[in-house]
Chains A and B, each alone.
Chain A
Amino acid sequence: MNIQQKANLAISVLFGLMACSSQKNVQVKTDEYSLINFLINQNENQKVNQYFLDWEENNYSTYRDFNPSEIEEFDFLAINNDLDLDSLFTLDEIDQLKNKIDSEKPVKLKKSGVVESSRLLNHKKIDFMSTSVMGFSYPIIQLTSGEKYGFILSSFSGKGTYYSIYQKKDSFDWEIIHKAMIAIE
């Protein structure tokens, strides 16, 4: 390798590092993180678990699991418990949703995606019974013509785990259209 080649390599490495550094500073602004931030803001006193809840470990692995009208949950106070996704989406949209359900999902929240990143908890050791922590699954966002829906699991220590479906209203606001407790603590 001659001097010119070495210089080119050094420059490319430098630019690569700068690109990585630059990426870290760019706040992640996606619908997924929009929904997560919306929920974090609603529970201002709680720490946020940086690790996502696993959909499959919570028994959400097929389209049927996601469709409230097909599930008999124990939560008799559920919001819109009979919501039927079949009536909300076209067959094509349902296929898209199924693909998203089957897709790989991140295991950890990006610090750069969370508005209040100081609340993130990235270690497991805490005082049990005296630290309130909330956690989420990686949201699944489904589009229809002009509408956006978000599917998410959220857990709150001392309370339980909930499955919710939200409809996006604007850049920051989501409206809940279904919520059911799936596990209690």
Chain B
Amino acid sequence: MLWTLTSCVEEPEVPQIQISENGELMKVKSWFDENKTKLRLPDRDINFRTDSHELILPFFEKEPDWDRFHHYFFPDGREVWEVNLENEETPIFGNLLDSIKNTPLNEVVIQNLMFIKNPNEERYDPIIARYYPKGEIDILDFKKMNYSKINEYWSGKLELFTYDEHHFIGFEFEEGEIINEIRYSKISSGSKVKNFNNADVRCTTYVLPITNCVTTSSGTSCSANYNDLVNVTYCTTGGSGGNYIYTYGRNEGYTGGTYVDPSGSGDEYVVPVIPAPETFILNQFTNPCGSQIFKQLMKASIIKSSIGNLSQANAIIQLLQDANDVEFIVKNSDLTVGTAGKTTDTKRYINSTSDKLEILIEFDNDYLESATRLSIARTMLHETIHAFLLYNFFKDPTGEFKQGLNNFANSKGYTDLNDVHHNFMPQYVDAIGYSLATWNQVYGNSVNIPRSYFDDLAWGGLTFSQHNSTTNQYTWHDVFQELVPSETERIRIQNVINNEANDEYSAKGEPCN
């Protein structure tokens, strides 16, 4: 007889976010309101801003939006509150956003203030974190990212500044990996200056050289390329501009990648030592094929592109657009026999003010071994739509969407959420079919597959609630039965799904291995 020992080893104690975190945040706010006029590094001489070799941006008053925050802990246990800035002013560096045009800056760049709690004193010294996306697909909502949680789908630059805008350090990310540390310096002859205005944004641009530091396993090596000038542009949206002067210089307190207050008096601004940003791995597949297919679906934004193929209600299109806001983790696991994939929420104690929701999508190891890549992609899209629905429940628990589903359940007499989801989701069959066809066109092995085949496959998981293997009879889902009234046709579609799920001879997709 097999018995197992349930693990009795306690997890290492991780600081828990309590329900009182709003109260804690108010302490941060009070401290900030009281101390914000003192948050300046000590002047080293009167001409520091102009003579320094350091990159220092013009100062502007920071206006935190205290309703939008992240709460987390550095690995050494220090508590951090990362609060979004509601300022319209957005500094831009050179070519940071060259690939992104025609999008309002305050929707592109995330500007946050990280308040790092001093472990010894009742103070929360701030660091500014600015997240510059590399391309359109890297534009994220504030909630999607913070210094401790940068996911592998994000590419761009994260620039850190002291509260009074001394450039601290920058990190360049490529799909969640730090590929460069960045520091800025200027040529000794002084900066070149050019100005330009346009209708929406008033900008002043300076041309500066950039020092790139490459981090490898053997350490960090830096090189200043004086031929490789970088534009440093400061823009305000809708403002009147200002007297912006960029200078640079080595901070005397520079130690090992961080600044500290050289005066050490304790009353002034102490720029805290900070660790490198942390990546949060959403794609936790250990199965390489599953991981590859998921990346392909995400990278190609196939889910989003399918919107163009839909002519359904705006609400559904909006739902698909929300796909990029869903924070879901994907992985492979040993699921119970007969389960190809499942979706659940991993954080079951949701604090509605702090957006701690994570949705977990798991795929069965045996399924990944036995199914075709086409079937796996289909299951991923199916589970992703479950994730959209779950996300919407949490996002707006009393809203129209949830009420609409409730009404749908009542009108159909459903008492089980499974029936609600699987009879509601046929609205996405077109979108799934289109997405599969697009994915196959770009990444698939099989050409000359008619679109109708992908539409058949898109029904996977939506066709039946139960199958009697003795009598080979299906208990079909209501909507599948309504939309495909012919039993022969339903069986044909089901066979297509089964063939791909089990890599049968007549499957058109190819297996992972």
Contacts and interface: CB of A to CB of B under 8 A. Distances in A.
Q: How many residues of A sit at the interface, in one of the four size bands?
A: 35 or more
A131 B414 CA distance: 23
B415 interface: yes
A147 interface: no
Given A59-B348, A104-B5, A108-B1, A133 B418 contact: no
A140 to B, nearest CB: 12
Interface in B410-437: 414-418, 420-421
B338 A106 contact: no
Contacts of A116: none
B3 interface: yes
Interface in B464-493: 464-470
Interface residues of B, number: 55
A130 B469 contact: yes
B349 interface: yes
Dominant secondary structure at the B interface: mixed
Contacts of A102: 6, 8
Interface stretch (A9-17, A30-38, A89-97, A155-163): A155-163
A69 to B, nearest CB: 12
Contact of B337 (A76, A126, A130): A126
Interface in A77-131: 77, 102-108, 110, 121, 124-131
A5 to B, nearest CB: 31
A128 B503 CA distance: 10
A74 B339 contact: no
Nearest to B11: A61
Contacts of B440: none
A39 interface: no
Contact of A183 (B343, B350, B497): B343
A110 B3 CA distance: 11
A104 B4 contact: yes
B386 interface: yes
A72 B336 contact: no
B418 A184 contact: yes
Contacts of B420: 77
Given A103-B6, A181-B418, 7 more contacts: A74-B417, A121-B337, A124-B366, A129-B497, A155-B336, A182-B344, A185-B342
Interface of A: 45-47, 49, 51, 53, 56, 59, 64-65, 70-77, 102-108, 110, 121, 124-133, 135, 155-161, 181-185
25 contacts: A56-B7, A71-B348, A76-B402, A77-B420, A106-B3, A107-B4, A110-B1, A124-B337, A127-B498, A129-B460, A129-B494, A129-B497, A129-B498, A129-B501, A129-B502, A132-B467, A133-B336, A135-B336, A135-B337, A155-B336, A155-B339, A158-B465, A160-B418, A181-B418, A185-B341
